[in-house]
Chains A and B, each alone.
Chain A
Amino acid sequence: MLRRALDALYIASAGLASLCLFGIFAMMMAQVGMREAGLQLVGADDLTTYLCVATAFFALAHTFRRGELIRVNMVFSLVGPAGKRVLEGMALSLAVIVVGTIVWYTAADVLFSYEIEDVAQGTIAFPLWVPKLAMPIGAGTLLIAILDEAVRVLRGEIPNYVLEAEARAARGDFSAEV
Chain B
Amino acid sequence: MELLELSLLLLVLLFALLGTGLWISMSLAAIGWIAMATVHPEPGPFLASAMWESTGSWTLAALPMFVWMGEILFRTKLSEELFNGLAPWVRRIPGGLLHVNILACGIFGSVSGSSAATSATVAKIALPELRKRGYDDDVSIGSLATSGTLGILIPPSIIMVVYAVAAEVSIIRIFIAGCLPGLVVMALFSGYIAVWAMLNPHKQPPPEPRLSFGGKMRASAQLIPCALLIIATIGSMFVGWATATEAAAFGVAGSLILAAVTGMLTWESFLDSLKGATRLSCMILFILAGAAFLSKAMALTGIPGALAAGVAALDLGPYGVIALLAVVYVVLGTALDGVSMIVLTTSIVIPIVQHAGFDLVWFGIFIVLLVEIAEITPPVGFNLFVMQTMTGKEQGEVARASLPFFAMLVLTIVLITLFPQTLVTGLGDWLLAR
| Chain A contact residues, CB within 8 Å of chain B | 14, 17-18, 21-22, 24-25, 28-29, 31-32, 36, 45, 48-53, 55-57, 59-60, 62-64, 66, 68-77, 87-88, 90-91, 94-95, 97-99, 101-102, 104-106, 108-109, 112, 131-132, 135, 139, 165, 168-169, 174-178
Contacts and interface: CB of A to CB of B under 8 A. Distances in A.
A176 to B, nearest CB: 8
A95 B391 CA distance: 25
A90 B277 CA distance: 30
Given A50-B56, A56-B286, A70-B388, A102 B29 contact: yes
Contacts of A51: 61
Given A59-B279, A165-B392, A178-B386, A53 B241 contact: no
Given A28-B65, A69-B24, A70-B385, 17 more contacts: A28-B61, A49-B56, A49-B60, A59-B282, A64-B23, A68-B279, A70-B283, A70-B287, A75-B19, A98-B29, A105-B47, A135-B48, A139-B51, A174-B389, A174-B392, A176-B74, A178-B389
Contacts of B65: 24-25, 28
Q: Indicate the member of B17, B49, B245, B286 with the most A CB atoms within 10 Å.
A: B286
Contacts of A94: 17, 20, 22, 26, 30
Contacts of A97: 30
Q: Indicate the member of B33, B48, B65 with the most A CB atoms within 10 Å.
A: B48
Given A32-B242, A94-B20, A135 B51 contact: yes
Contact of A52 (B30, B55, B242): B55
B21 A72 contact: yes
B281 A72 contact: no
A28 B275 contact: no
B48 A74 contact: no
B64 A21 contact: yes
Main secondary structure of the interface of A (DSSP, over half): helix
A18 B57 contact: no
B289 A56 contact: yes
Contact of B47 (A48, A74, A102, A174): A102
Nearest to B382: A70
B366 interface: no
A53 B56 contact: yes
Contacts of B60: 49, 52
B395 interface: yes
Nearest to A128: B52
B51 A102 contact: yes
Given A73-B21, A75-B19, A175-B127, A28 B245 contact: yes
Contact of B283 (A24, A68, A106): A68
A169 B392 CA distance: 7
Q: Indicate the member of A14, A48, A75, A77 with the most B CB atoms within 10 Å.
A: A48
Contact of A95 (B23, B48, B275, B386): B23
A57 B279 CA distance: 10
Contact of B24 (A60, A63, A71, A108): A71
Contacts of A31: 246
12 contacts: A21-B277, A24-B249, A28-B246, A32-B242, A69-B283, A71-B23, A94-B20, A102-B29, A168-B392, A175-B390, A178-B124, A178-B280
Contacts of A59: 278-279, 281-282
A178 to B, nearest CB: 5
A101 B50 CA distance: 13
A55 B52 CA distance: 12
Contacts of B52: 53, 106, 109, 132, 135
Contacts of B302: none
A70 B389 contact: yes
B174 to A, nearest CB: 23
Contact of B241 (A36, A76, A106, A139): A36
Contacts of B120: 178
B235 interface: no
Interface string B219-234: 0000000000000000
Contacts of B123: 175
Given A17-B278, A49-B57, A55-B64, A72 B44 contact: no
B276 interface: yes
Interface in B8-58: 17-26, 29-30, 33, 44-45, 47-49, 51-52, 55-58
Given A53-B52, A56-B285, A178-B386, A73 B64 contact: no
Nearest to B386: A178
Contacts of B389: 68, 70, 174, 177-178
A74 B277 contact: no
Cβ-closest 7 pairs across A and B: A109-B48, A59-B282, A28-B249, A56-B285, A49-B56, A105-B44, A53-B56
A1 to B, nearest CB: 26
Contacts of B127: 175
Q: Indicate the member of B21, B385, B390, B394 with the most A CB atoms within 10 Å.
A: B21
A48 B283 CA distance: 19
B253 interface: yes
Contacts of A68: 279-280, 283, 389
